[in-house]
Amino acid sequence: MSHMKKLFGILLMTAMVSGTAIANDDEVQARIAPVGSTCMQGEECAAAPAPAAAAGPKSGKDVYTGFCTTCHGAGVMGAPKFGTAADWAPRVAKGKDTLYTHAIGGFNAMPPKGMCAACSDDEIKGAVDYMLDGSK
């Protein structure tokens, strides 16, 4: 009888282990399902075109909001904070042309054009003017 109990125990353990290790087909399919999908031109899902980019130059406020606010909103890495005249005063003392040159070419921790590579020099100058006007 002792051999029967051992055999039964082994069979029971084998069944339990193999039963938990085998996943059903639905679980397997859910794990290997694609995360996203691709919609090709001409397919029904591609009927809505992407919105067109805004025509014309961006305003100084738009450039500031889209790019400059990341650092100038909080004064990250020494950036003069928008709205804080004391932060801007020593920079303004060097002249607006120097500010434009630094904004376009980069200065200290600020990368060229503040990471707005698609912005024109005039758009960057507009952003500088916007920040200066808002920081008096």
What is the mean pLDDT of the segment spanning 58-79? 92
Separation between Cα atoms, residue 21 and residue 53, nearest integer Å: 53
Q: If we measure between CA atoms, which residue out of 63, 67, 71, 49 comes closest to residue 127?
A: 63
What CA–CA distances, in Å, run from 123 to 32, 40, 45, 81, 96? 47, 35, 36, 19, 15
Could you give all domains of the chain from N- to C-terminal order, each with its CATH number?
60-133 (1.10.760.10)
129 Cβ contact list (under 8 Å, min separation 6) = 60
Q: What is the mean pLDDT of the chain?
A: 83
What is the mean pLDDT of the segment spanning 114-126? 94
User: What pLDDT, on the 0 to 100 scale, is given for residue 61?
Assistant: 95
Phi (first) and psi of residue 6, to 5 degrees: -65, -45
